[in-house]
Amino acid sequence: MNAMKYLTAEGLADWGAACLEKLGMPADDARFASGSLVQTSLWGIDSHGIARMPHYLGRIEAGSIEPVAMMTFEETGPCTGTLDGGHGLGLLVCRRATQEAISMARANGLGFIGVRESSHCGAIGLYGRMIAEAGMVGIVMTHSDSFVAPHHGYKKFLGTNPLCLSAPCAGGPPVCLDMATSAAAWNAIMNARREKRPIDASLAYDESGAPTTDPEAVACLRAMGGHKGYALAFMIEVFCASLNAAPWGPNITPMYGDYSARRHLGSFVGAIDPGRFAGGGNFADSVAALAACARSQQPIDPANPVLAPGDDQYACEKRRRTEGIPVEPGLALQIREWCARLNVAEPAGLS
């Protein structure tokens, strides 16, 4: 009962979609949302993968996330637009913003969409890859409530504020940088709390500002790379909050707490048509050549080869499609609880 389980991507996706449908989400949206979380788990980003489904279900049930959101999109110029997400599931809101950005970029070379009134949108590499798979360069940012201390501080101020940069790569999947500006994702701390396991002391502070390995003692995360991660997070806050008339930092509704409270989150999604630039005619081939050259570099340790951005996630996906997605005991318990609550069948292999 307490051992790690390894479940298939298909089984977990079916389970998540069935749960979302039970809470009133249309089948196509439920399938996309659940499939996106499973895809994130396949990439090895467990902090934002299927482990987040119980959180989303709880917020939909409590009323802070609308299962059928009334989104409103407004073109504010040939290359800009704003999307009111109607307090929908962030995965669906950012999918819509990404589609609008791609459409604008195809027509006019650039598409930049500001998002407001959204909720947690999962891993932003989902949207960056959507843009790259459309043959374009992607720039995606989002923010969160306060989890991270500023440089020289030890009290939480900004969110984990991730950034994604992506590009098409001829003959293979997109190259994709998807990174938090904190030393770790807050959801990684929540996973450690759920599974009652220690964290690395370099990731977080306790209430007194001392490093801690106890996830229960974590008061805030450290910024990635000190002042560099903090400054980058600050500027992402400008793009996601100030640009979209959204709350920032300490003013954002906490992700964990009152599940009935709206989040009011913002995001920024950009698509660039490489055909509008000098390198456009050979862009994907050039990116592929750059990636191949990177992989050919001599590593310090042969067991750890030089990779192009995203290679580690694609390797993890290949492995997990064969071995299964790991489901820790705490998550397995949450899945069982939601199955009983919603009268949904457990994914195969859970028991």
Please give the backbone phi and psi of residue 88, each rounded to the nearest 5 degrees, phi first.
-80, 175
Position 2 scores a pLDDT of 72
For 88-113, letters b (16+ CB in 10 Å) and e give bbbbbbbbbbbbbbbebbeeebbbbb
Q: Which residue, among 65, 41, 66, has the nearest Cα to 335 in the 3D structure?
A: 41
The token pair at 49 is 């993968």
Please give the backbone phi and psi of residue 142, each rounded to the nearest 5 degrees, phi first.
-150, 175
Position 73 scores a pLDDT of 98
For 89-151, give the secondary structure using H, E and C: CHHHHHHHHHHHHHHHHHHHCEEEEEEEEECCCCCCHHHHHHHHHCCCEEEEEECCCCCECCC
Position 124 scores a pLDDT of 98
Angle CA(42)–CA(124)–CA(143) in degrees, nearest 5?
Answer: 135
- Total-model pTM: 0.95
| Percentage, residues of the chain above pLDDT 90 | 96
At a CB cut-off of 8 Å and minimum separation 6, what does 203 contact?
A: 183, 184, 188, 189, 221, 222
Position 3 scores a pLDDT of 87
The token pair at 290 is 């750059």
pLDDT tens for residues 323-351? Answer: 999 999 999 999 999 999 999 999 999 98
Tell me the CA distances in angstroms from 321 to 39, 51, 347, one per residue in order: 10, 17, 16
Residue type at 320 in one-letter notation:
R
Residue 122 — very low, low, confident or very high, per pLDDT cuts 50/70/90?
Answer: very high
Please give the backbone phi and psi of residue 130, each rounded to the nearest 5 degrees, phi first.
-60, -40
DSSP per-residue codes, 189-201: HHHHHHHT----T
Cβ atoms of residues 146 and 182 within 8 Å = no
pLDDT exceeds cutoff 90 at 191: no
The token pair at 123 is 């891993």
> 303: which strand partners?
none
pLDDT tens for residues 131-162? Answer: 999 999 999 999 999 999 999 999 999 999 99
Sign of CA dihedral 181, 185, 186, 187: positive
The token pair at 320 is 């997990």
The token pair at 263 is 């989040």
Q: Coil, strand or helix: which one is 68?
A: coil
Q: What is the mean pLDDT of the chain?
A: 96
Tell me the CA distances in angstroms from 162 to 46, 191, 241, one per residue in order: 15, 18, 13
- The domains of the chain, with CATH numbers, are 1-62+310-351 (1.10.1530.10), 71-182+223-309 (3.30.1370.60)
Sheet holding 110-118, edge to edge: 72-77, 80-84, 110-118, 265-272, 137-142, 163-169, 172-179
